[in-house]
Chain A
Amino acid sequence: MATPETIDALTHAYPGLATSEFRGETRVVVPRDQLLALFQWLRDARHFDLLVDVTCVDYLQYRNAPDRFGLVYLLAQSETNERITLRCYVGEVDLTVPSAVPLWEGANWLEREVYDMFGIQFEGHPDLRRILMPEEFVPFPLRKDYPLQGRGERHNFPVLTRAES
């Protein structure tokens, strides 16, 4: 969890943002347009040098969800062992968020995976391609409206026979 000094500095630098706590975790909900500035501030002013994870939750059937998708950034500090969780909600109309790759190189594959599984566009990502699914695959498998067993892509997938190859 984040130390009180970090939380104080955060609420001082960004007065609009409120922090919450659950089971010892400090969480901040960040609007999309402040995300990149907050990343930069956390990295440079508070030395959060380790981007632990980038993930996304599809809140399609979730009670009291602010928007359809919630992006989750888990940051850590390698010296003081603080942790902070940033959450950013985006909706169906515009699924674009700024990329964290210029700040942490480790975000590269993590953001590609979120793009592959949820269809979130990361603005400024150097190489935003599908990473786990084949390139011609259209749907986004981890969205809640995608069924567990797929939509028949598996049976209809073109098979290359020995004669054709």
Chain B
Amino acid sequence: METSGHTSEQDYLWTLNFGPQHPATHTTLRIVLKLDGERVVDAIPDIGYLHSGFEKIGEHLDYNQYVAVTDRMNYISPLANNVAWHHAVEKLLGLEITPRCKYIRTIIAELARISDHLLCNGAVGLDTGAFTFFLYAFNQRETLYEAFETLCGARFTTSYTRVGGLLHDATPLFIEQVRRFVREFPRTLDDMERLLNRNRIFVDRTKGVGILTKEEALSRSCTGPILRASGVARDLRKDEPYLAYPDFDFQVCAATTGDCFARYLVRMAEMRESLKIVEQAIENLPAGPINVGNEQRTIIPDKRMVYSTIEGLISHFELKMSNRGFETPHEESYAAIESPNGELGFYVVGDGRDIAYRARCRPPSYIHFAVFPHLIRGHTLSDVVAVLGSLNIIAAELDR
């Protein structure tokens, strides 16, 4: 670091351990700050507290079991992680999922985006002193959790997708809950925007803080709302359409200033676009099966097929036996989705078995955290929480 070697200068510098238990470091984040009075001279992030080792576990669990690990990677929006993982596995297998499955996956990925942005923006509000805003955001997240619970029986650890399909079909109750959410959420969103968009304290604390220019954002591999707030309208939903996104009408939200306020605005605007997608998807939900057919040999056939057809019986038997499962190509591929925080991709190496030879996750939070020291240098200590909140770092994603 630049400060080493100059004892006379170092005498004036404070070292402050920010986190892991600071209320603004929502998970186990630790940052060692070098301070000159209130001014941050340097920030040294110290990561890897959880030692979750989820890439190593990926080499020991099969493609369906691993979905439970993806829930824990970004526990703010687990449904998006589920979708990302099986999207990558299906690309490796060359599997085309059914239209209904595509639509349901699109709906849950967008609901996960809304719930993630609600938490992120709510936390930025909380950290900069807007407690009411945070309560509004969390109240709406609660509504979403109820819908998720109807859908897959769990609020956080959803594990909803399977190779070639889904755990259950969406029930009419879930569809009703989503419809009600789409109807009622815009009013809360208006209230939230009225609370903060022109709030003097909030604007003063976020505008012009942590500016990331377009060139820097690209060079530092940023993706998602952070890249878009810096003026690059890159969104995988439009640029490399996957699932059912080509069917829907929505906009890519971008800003140009690249500061904390721009990142907040981009997230707020994205929630409205997500609502548009969910509304279109839920009204045009195609009928039909949610899982790929039995001839694909990836999904366990239902009981009726197992008891009454020989193909169903064989397929069930093979899929349940250890060391049998389904066959994967002896190849490697990378597939990514536009998760709430940016590009969430999996590099999957297959070796014929139904366990990945290597499951690499490209987590957006890890890459965004590397930008943090660069953004905070020269700002004051109270800006640390604003910048940290606007980057939306999830500690579980920082681990391998």
User: Residues of A at under 8 Å CB distance from B?
Assistant: 22-23, 25, 49-53, 55, 57-58, 62-64, 72, 74, 78, 81, 85, 104-110, 113, 117, 131-133, 141-142, 144, 148
**Chain A residue with Cβ nearest B349:** A57
CA–CA, A121 and B53, complex, Å:
21
Q: Which of A63, A85, A109 contacts B330 (CB 8 A)?
A: A63
B276 CB within 8 Å of chain A: no
Pick from A23, A58, A107, A141: contact of B333, CB under 8 Å: A23
By the criterion CB–CB under 8 Å, are B333 and A53 in contact?
no
Tell me if B360 and A23 are in contact (CB < 8 A).
no
The segment from B72-80, B115-123, B362-370 that touches chain A is: B362-370
A61 to chain B, nearest CB (A): 8
Q: Which residues of B contact A117 (CB under 8 A)?
A: 55, 400
B331 A22 Cβ-Cβ under 8 A: yes
Indicate if B181 sits at the interface (CB-CB under 8 A). no
Given contacts A105-B219, A132-B398, 16 further A-B contacts (CB under 8 A): A23-B92, A23-B333, A50-B221, A52-B336, A57-B349, A81-B240, A104-B220, A109-B366, A110-B221, A110-B367, A132-B399, A141-B53, A142-B400, A144-B59, A148-B56, A148-B60
Give every chain A residue within 8 A of B218 (Cβ-Cβ): 49-50, 78
Residues 35-54 of B, flagged 1 when their CB comes within 8 A of A and 0 if not, give 00000000000011001010
User: Are B220 and A62 in contact, CB atoms less than 8 angstroms apart?
Assistant: no
Specify which chain B residues have a CB less than 8 angstroms from the CB of A72 in the assembled complex.
332, 334, 347, 360
Residue in A closest to B55 when the chains form the complex, CB atoms:
A142
What is the distance, in angstroms, from B95's C-beta to the closest C-beta of chain A? 11
When the two chains form their complex, are residues A131 and B221 in contact, meaning their CB atoms are under 8 A apart? no
Q: Considering only CB atoms, which chain A residue lies closest to B240 in the complex? A: A81
In order of increasing CB-CB distance, the 9 nearest A-B pairs are A106-B221, A132-B48, A109-B370, A81-B239, A53-B362, A106-B220, A55-B360, A105-B219, A49-B218
Q: Shortest distance in angstroms between B243's beta carbon and chain A's nearest beta carbon? A: 16
Give the interface of B toward A (CB within 8 A).
47-48, 51, 53, 55-57, 59-60, 91-92, 94, 216, 218-223, 232, 234, 239-240, 330-334, 336, 343, 345, 347, 349, 351, 357-358, 360, 362, 366-367, 369-370, 398-400
Cα A109 to Cα B347 in complex, Å, equals 18
Q: How far is the CA of A57 from the CA of B216 in the complex (A)?
A: 29
Q: Which residue of A lies closest to B232 (CB)?
A: A78
Q: Hey, which chain B residues are within 8 Å of A133, CB to CB? A: 48
In the assembly, what is the distance between CA of A69 and CA of B311, in Å? 41
Residues B357 and A62 in contact, CB atoms below 8 Å apart:
yes
Complex CA gap A83/B57 in Å reads 28
Q: How far is the CA of A52 from the CA of B232 in the complex (A)?
A: 15
Given A23-B92, A110-B367, is A52 in contact with B399 using a C-beta cutoff of 8 Å? no
A107 to B222, CA, bound (A): 11
From known contacts A23-B333, A113-B400, infer whether A63 and B351 are also in contact, taking CB-CB under 8 Å. yes
Select which of A57, A58, A110, A148 is within 8 A of B332 by beta carbon.
A57
Query: What are 11 sample pairs from A and B whose C-beta atoms fall under 8 A apart?
Result: A23-B92, A23-B94, A50-B218, A62-B349, A72-B332, A74-B362, A105-B219, A106-B367, A108-B370, A109-B367, A109-B369
Q: For the complex, give the distance between the alpha carbons of A63 and B362 in Å.
A: 25
Contact A58 B358 (CB under 8 A): yes
Chain A's closest residue to B94 (CB) is: A23
Inter-subunit contact B351/A53 (CB<8 Å): no
| Nearest-CB residue, chain B, relative to A112 | B370
Chain B residues contacting A53 (CB-CB under 8 Å) are: 334, 345, 347, 360, 362
Instruction: Report the separation of the CA atoms of residues A72 and B219 in the bound assembly, to the nearest whole angstrom.
Output: 18
**Structural contact, A25 and B334, CB atoms closer than 8 A:** yes
- Among the listed B60, B221, B240, B336, which residue makes an inter-chain contact with A104, where contact means beta carbons less than 8 Å apart? B221
The answer for the CA separation of A50 and B221 in the assembled complex, in Å, is 6
